Structure 1
Amino acid sequence: MAKEYPNPPAWSLWLIRQLIRPDLLEEIEGNLYQYYRELLQASASWPGARYGYQVLCFLRWSTVKHVQLENSKSMFHFDPSVAIRNLVKHRVSTTINLLGFVVGLVSVFFLYFYIRTELRVDSFHEQGDRIYRVLRINHGNGEKQFIGVSNGPMGKALLNDFPNAITDLNRVNVSTGVIGVEDKQYPDQRLAMSDANFFTFFSFPLAVGDPESVLEQDGAVVISPQQAQVFFGDEDPIGKEIRVDSRMEFEVSTVFKKMPSN
Structure 2
Amino acid sequence: MFKNNLKIAIRNLLKYKFYSFINATGLAIGIATCLLILLFVQDELNYDKYNEKAGRIYRVIADMKLGGNSFNTTNLGAPTAEALVNDFPEVEKAVRIKHLGSWFVQYGDLSFKETNVINADSTLFDIFTIPLLSGNPKTALVKPNTLVLNEKMAEKYFGNENPVGKMLILNNRDDFLVTGVFKNIPSNSHFHADFILSFNIKHGDGNDYWLGNMMYVTYILLQKNFDYKNFEAKLPSVVEK
TM norm. shorter chain > 0.5: yes
Q: Deviations over 1:171-197 (max 9, x none)?
A: 111222111223432113421100111
Q: What amino acid is aligned across from residue 140 of structure 2 in structure 1?
A: V
Q: Check if 1:107 corresponds to 2:107.
A: no
CA RMSD, Structure 1 to Structure 2 (Å)? 2.4
Q: Deviations over 1:201-250 (max 9, x none)?
A: 21111112322122122222101112112212222211111122123221
Give, in angstroms, the shift of residue 83 of structure 1: 1.4
Q: What amino acid is aligned across from residue 118 of structure 1 in structure 2?
A: E
Equivalence for 2:111: 185
Give, in angstroms, the shift of residue 145 of structure 1: 4.5
Equivalence for 1:244: 170
Per the normalisation by structure 1, the TM-score is 0.64
Q: d(CA) in 2 for partners of 1:113 and 1:141?
A: 44
**What is the DSSP-based 3-state SS (H/G/I as helix, E as strand, rest coil) of the residue aligned with 2:113?**
strand
Equivalence for 2:121: 195
Select 2:89's aligned residue among 147, 157, 164: 164
**Quick one: structure 1 residues 88 and 220, their matched pair in 2 at CA, closer, same or farther if it must change by over 3 Å?**
same
Asked if the contact 1:242/1:252 (under 8 Å) is kept, the reply is: yes
Q: Check if 1:256 corresponds to 2:182.
A: yes
Q: Which has the higher strand share?
A: 2
Q: Deviations over 1:113-145 (max 9, x none)?
A: 111111111212121100011223456799764
**What is the DSSP-based 3-state SS (H/G/I as helix, E as strand, rest coil) of the residue aligned with 2:117?**
strand
User: Which structure 2 residues correspond to residues 7-18 of structure 1 after superposition, within 5 A?
Assistant: none
Give, in angstroms, the shift of residue 199 of structure 1: 1.2
Q: Runs of 5+ in structure 2 lacking a partner?
A: 189-241
Q: What amino acid is aligned across from residue 83 of structure 1 in structure 2?
A: A
Equivalence for 2:12: 86
Give, in angstroms, the shift of residue 166 of structure 1: 1.8
Percent pairwise identity: 28
Q: What amino acid is aligned across from residue 249 of structure 1 in structure 2?
A: D
Tell me the number of residue pairs that the alignment of Structure 1 and Structure 2 aligns: 187
Q: d(CA) in 1 for partners of 2:16 and 2:67?
A: 59
Asked if the contact 2:151/2:183 (under 8 Å) is kept, the reply is: yes
Q: d(CA) in 2 for partners of 1:101 and 1:79?
A: 20
Equivalence for 2:98: 173
Q: d(CA) in 2 for partners of 1:112 and 1:138?
A: 38
Asked if the contact 2:104/2:170 (under 8 Å) is kept, the reply is: yes
Q: d(CA) in 1 for partners of 2:24 and 2:71?
A: 45
Give, in angstroms, the shift of residue 79 of structure 1: 4.2
Higher relative CO (Cα under 8 Å, sequence separation at least 6) belongs to: 2
Q: d(CA) in 2 for partners of 1:193 and 1:138?
A: 24
Q: d(CA) in 2 for partners of 1:141 and 1:79?
A: 75
Q: d(CA) in 2 for partners of 1:234 and 1:127?
A: 33
**Quick one: structure 1 residues 214 and 100, their matched pair in 2 at CA, closer, same or farther if it must change by over 3 Å?**
same
Asked if the contact 1:209/1:254 (under 8 Å) is kept, the reply is: yes
Q: d(CA) in 1 for partners of 2:70 and 2:28?
A: 42
User: Which structure 2 residues correspond to residues 28-107 of structure 1 after superposition, within 5 A?
Assistant: 74=1, 77-107=3-33
Q: d(CA) in 1 for partners of 2:140 and 2:178?
A: 9
Per the normalisation by structure 2, the TM-score is 0.69
Larger radius of gyration: 1
Equivalence for 1:122: 48
